Amino acid sequence: MTSNKIIIYTDGGARGNPGPAGIGVVIGDDFMHGEYIGETTNNIAEYKALVYALKHVKRATGLDDLKKISLEVRMDSELIVKQMSGEYKVKNEGLRELYVEVQKLIPNYHSVTFVHIRREKNKEADAMVNKALDNYLK
């Protein structure tokens, strides 16, 4: 089976921790999304960005058969990348619910890999987080 590889960048952040929070998602070359998600922690915002991305690949790409899509998710949250790879356990109950949601979405795709990147390599997703927060906090 041939698969289309899609690169996704996700980011989440809270001003104050917890505090007003937002998510940023970049899927492929053309889809960018930022959204205020309420008061929460940085880690929950990071997970919510990942969930959003996995749920919106079809809309962002126009590809119908998700089983033919291989995703490479790049994020600056080392914690989530290590939890997704099984290197770290998910101890926080709030994160565990989101982790389980991600685990349920992964089988929809041909494959999903997670890559930890440095913050400066995640500028577009980070900019979407900050734009969403700036607009909310005006």
Fold of 4-133: Nucleotidyltransferase; domain 5 (3.30.420)
Please choose, from the candidates 19, 38, 34, the residue with its C-alpha nearest in 3D space to the C-alpha of residue 132. 34
Domain edges within the chain:
4-133
Beta strands in 41-83 (DSSP E): 69-75
Q: What is the mean pLDDT of each run of 10 residues along the chain (138 residues)?
A: 85 96 96 98 98 96 92 98 97 96 97 97 98 95
Buried b vs exposed e over 111-138: b needs ≥16 C-beta within 10 Å? ebebebeeeeebeebbebbbbbbeeeee
Indicate the pTM of the whole model.
Answer: 0.96
